[in-house]
Structure 1
């Protein structure tokens, strides 16, 4: 089995992992708190990720791609 097949495949899986791992990184300690509070924090995290992907990321990506195309057209 290839390595890339073991990676999370969608937003829900990323949110699952990052709810716990992100808390550990942010708090700079590994504890059971993120696992115990998982069902309270995960719905908020998944909603935030969908909102960011739906409303914030696309305009930024379009602006970056527009600038990249303008730079490439000049050369």
Structure 2
């Protein structure tokens, strides 16, 4: 069963509901029991974006990348 992240429109409490899509419509806020809600979209990012130990740049030498121009 999917888990939905919701925010109460009355008290702004964020909560999760584990229910079918249809059952989600009947969910009540655990804080104020309101059924007025909106979905909350969250990005689940795990771990670093770049591999560990790659350093700050991709050039093999301290003098810069071969063929790179300082004129942009």
Same fold, TM exceeding 0.5?
no
More strand by percentage: 2
More helix by percentage: 1
Instruction: Compute the TM-score of the two structures, normalised by the length of structure 1.
Output: 0.21
**Which protein shows a greater Rg?**
2
With a CA cutoff of 8 Å and minimum separation of 6, indicate the structure with the bigger relative contact order.
Answer: 1
Instruction: Compute the TM-score of the two structures, normalised by the length of structure 2.
Output: 0.21
